[in-house]
Every structure is written in C-alpha cells, then in structure tokens.
Structure 1
Amino acid sequence: MNVAIVTVGDELLAGQTTNTNATWLSERLTERGVSVERVTTVPDRIGDIARVVNEYRAEYDAVIVTGGLGPTHDDVTMEGVAAALGRSLEEHADALAWLEADGYSRADLTAGTADLPAGARPLHNETGVAPGAVLEGVYVLPGVPSEMRAMFESVADEFSGTQTYRAVVVADEPESALLDRVATVRERFEITVGSYPGESVRLALEGTDEETVSEAEAWLRERVEQPSGDR
C-alpha cells in the first residue's frame, strides 16, 4: 500500500507551526508496512488543495489530508477535497448527531461545521469539534495534533502493507569513500540502503526479511570504520 500525505496551512509554509503531523503520520504508517511516497504542504487555498488531492488520488492507494477543518474563513480543506472529487458539500446527519451527543446544540454550532463532501463517510472527532471524512481513498483529518492522532487511530486498520525491517550502521568515513561497499551490500543482499551524512555517515539498511537485514548489517559493520563509541 502506498500513501501520500497532504498537510494544509499557511502557518506551516510560513514556519510559524512545526509540521509534526506529517512526521507522526509517516512513522505510524511505516510501522504498519505502508509506503509513504509523498509529503506535501499546501496553503489554505481551495484550488491548491483540489489540484494536489486530485493528482495524488490517481497515483496512490490513499491520500491523507490533515489541517484546515472547521467553519472559519480559512478552513477550506473540505471544500477543496469536495472540488477534487467533483462533489458538493452537504450537512451530514451522522456528524451533526455526534456533535449534539457531545453536547453541542445546533444553535451552538457555526454554519458549515458538519458539512462534508456528498457521499463521504464521516469520522467522529473524539477530542474536538470538526468531523473528518473518508471518500474514494481520501482521508480528511483535523490539523490539531491530538485530534488528528485520535481520528487516525480510528481508521488505522484500513492502512496495511508489507512489514519492513531496518538497521543502521554508522561509518566514520567520508560518504564518497563508502560507495563501493554500499554497492556491494546491495548486490549481495535483497535490501535498500540510505546514506545520511553528518559528523559520521549513517547507513540505513531496510528490507522485508528480518534475517537478511541482520546479515547485511553484520557484513557491513565488519567492513567500515566505526566511531570509537560504536565499536
């Protein structure tokens, strides 16, 4: 299963808010064996949301959109998703019933709070007000981290894939000097290798067979110079 994550918000693009939602979702999806292939941030503009969601839903098994839910002037995510799917926005009876059960009367709710794309499956917001929605492989979640996490957990079982295993070897050598050994370990073992330079170089080995990853890790450790603390 492959997934794209779309985070919505002008404040994310301006650096005023750290995009913790994308990191958390990527971690949780990876744990479930799902391949996260895109993480994109778009502004609070209907056209941008609609364009990206429409493009990604054609390419990936699912698209998770987070942020911009609610009835205020800059909460336009539902409208953008509805435009991408060619749907109108309609007040959803189940979403409205959940809100009333949580203690919100119709008089308390701002117009549009329970509006979802026509035909969508509503997702109950257990820790907030704005409901989420699922339609045609597009999952729309709130931007408030606590609300997003609780809502994702309610649909987490709908995301699954092949379990992957990971090991990291730290090398105290220039990245360019490791190219031959990286190429060899990839040829000998059915794994992928990511190289992340810094004070040392972190070589991340990943594969679908735990024993193969372990064998590749052992093979590589014997053939690189490791920082003194890692020996």
Structure 2
Amino acid sequence: MDVALLTIGDELLSGDTANTNATWLASRLAERGATVARILVVPDDRELIASKVEEYSEAFDAVIVTGGLGGTPDDRTMDAVAEAFDRSLAVNERARTDIEKTVEAVREEYPDIELDIDAEASIPADSQPLINEPGLAPGCVIENVYVLPGIPEEMQAMFESVAEAFGGSVRSRTFYTNIPEAELIPDLTATEERFDVAVGCYPDREVRHNRIKLVGEDSAVLDEAADWLRARIETVPAPEG
C-alpha cells in the first residue's frame, strides 16, 4: 500500500513548527507494512492544497492530509479537499452533535465562548466524519483521502481510529554497527545485489554508530539477508532511548 502524506501550514515552511506529524505518521504506517511514497509540505493555499490532493489521490493508494482544520482564516484544508473532489461543504450532523457536546463541556470554564458550530461541523458532502475526541474540529474520509487535524495529540488519536485501513507487506530488519560508513559500502552493496532487499545506512555522529536497515516484502529473505550481513560486519546493541 503506497501512502502519500500532505502536511499543511505556513508555520511548517517558516520553521516556526517542527513537522513532527509527518515523522510520527511515517513511523506508524511503516509499522503496519505500508510504504510512505511521498511527504510534502504545502502552505495554507487553497488552490495548491486542492491540486495536490487531487494529484495524490489519483497517484497513490491513500493520502493523509494533516493541518489547516478549524475556524481561523488560515484554516483552508476542508475547503480545498472539497474543491479537489468537486463537492460542496455540508454540515455533518454527527460532527455537529459532537461539537455541541464539547462546547457545553467547556462553557463553565469559558462562559463567553462563541463558535459557529455549523461552520466547524462542515465537511465535504457525503464524506465520512472523523470525530475529534481530544479536540473540536472533525476530520473526514473522502474516497481514499484521510483529513486529520494538525495538533499532534488530536492527529494521533484520529489516526488510530482509522489505522486498520492502512497496511501492506513491507517489513524491515534493523541493527547497528560502529564500523565507519565508508568501510561498509562493499558489504552493503553485496547484500543488495545478493538478496531482494533494499539496504539503507544511517550515520548518527552523536553516538558514533551506523544504523543499518534492510527492507523487503519476504520475511524469510529479510532474515537470510540480515544473517548474511551480520556475519560480515560487527554489530553492537541498539542505543538506549
């Protein structure tokens, strides 16, 4: 399953906010055997978001969009996703009920709260609402596009509610070595040539080790490749933390 991640927000491009959502999602998808084929950051530009959603929806098995939900002027994601599928926004009654309950729950603490509930509960017509348990703005599923909030806590909770939709046959094996990267090249190249696996080497200068990762779809082949490579290089325990 090939998945594209589309993360939305001017704050990501300016460096004001770290794009932790993309890293977290990529890790969770990889754990489920899916392949993250693209990660793209785009600004709060309705036309650009709509264009990329349409393009990626056609090119990949699934698209996850994060960020730009809510009622502030820079929250343009829902409008853009609706445009990508040539649909209008419509109030979703399930989302509306949930938002009303959330607002009432905090009204004692925020007695002057004013919110356009219909606007908050509007998602592309005929899409499936995704309730935002820790927050307010709902997400949605429209065809193969999953629209999630940008706030990490909310995004993670909403993703877990649809995680079963993502999977695949990609597996990996990871181990570590203190051998300098340049000295590993012949053995890494030979591993990739000998076995049907992809080989990656990722140096970490701080702890002075290299992380070796083998990726493939056949667990038996992965195990054979990992054993073959371990027999040729000295490995060390995984770093703590």
Query: TM-score, structure 2 length as denominator?
Result: 0.85
CA-to-aligned-CA distance 1:169-211 (integer Å, 9 cap, x gap): 4252343x44332232123222210122454543311223334
Q: Report whether the alignment pairs 1:207 with 2:213.
A: no
| Cα distance in 1 for residues equivalent to 2:217 and 2:71 | 44
The corresponding residue for 2:201 is 195
The corresponding residue for 2:191 is 185
| Cα distance in 2 for residues equivalent to 1:209 and 1:164 | 7
Question: Which residue identity does 2:29 align to in structure 1?
Answer: L
Question: Which residue identity does 1:125 align to in structure 2?
Answer: N
Q: Secondary structure at the match of 1:102?
A: helix
Matches within 5 A, 1:52-67: 52-67=52-67
| Cα distance in 1 for residues equivalent to 2:20 and 2:181 | 31
| Cα distance in 1 for residues equivalent to 2:166 and 2:31 | 10
CA apart distance, 1:65:
0.4
Q: Report whether the alignment pairs 1:122 with 2:111.
A: no
The corresponding residue for 1:172 is 179
The corresponding residue for 1:223 is 232
Q: Report whether the alignment pairs 1:137 with 2:138.
A: no
- Evaluate the alpha carbon distance shift between residue 228 and residue 44 of structure 1 in structure 2; reply closer, same or farther with a 3 A threshold: closer
Q: Report whether the alignment pairs 1:26 with 2:33.
A: no
CA apart distance, 1:36:
0.6
Question: Which residue identity does 2:179 align to in structure 1?
Answer: D
Matches within 5 A, 1:7-156: 7-104=7-104, 108-110=114-116, 112-156=119-163
| Cα distance in 2 for residues equivalent to 1:137 and 1:227 | 42
CA apart distance, 1:85:
1.1
CA-to-aligned-CA distance 1:131-186 (integer Å, 9 cap, x gap): 101101111001111111111111111112115132224252343x4433223212
Runs of 4+ with deviation above 6 angstroms: 227-230
CA apart distance, 1:50:
0.8
How many equivalent residue pairs? 228
CA apart distance, 1:62:
0.7
Q: Report whether the alignment pairs 1:5 with 2:5.
A: yes
| Cα distance in 2 for residues equivalent to 1:212 and 1:7 | 35
Percent pairwise identity: 47
Q: How big is the alpha-carbon RMSD for the aligned residues of Structure 1 and Structure 2?
A: 2.4
Question: Which residue identity does 1:137 align to in structure 2?
Answer: N
| Cα distance in 1 for residues equivalent to 2:136 and 2:236 | 51
| Cα distance in 2 for residues equivalent to 1:139 and 1:178 | 40
Q: Secondary structure at the match of 1:5?
A: strand
Verify the 8 A CA contact 2:175 2:235 in the aligned structure 1.
no
Which segment is superposed worse, 137-146 or 166-175?
Answer: 166-175
Which segment is superposed worse, 45-54 or 93-102?
Answer: 93-102
Question: Which residue identity does 1:209 align to in structure 2?
Answer: D
CA-to-aligned-CA distance 1:88-136 (integer Å, 9 cap, x gap): 112222211222233449x943251111111111111111110101101
| Cα distance in 2 for residues equivalent to 1:228 and 1:137 | 40
Q: Secondary structure at the match of 1:195?
A: strand
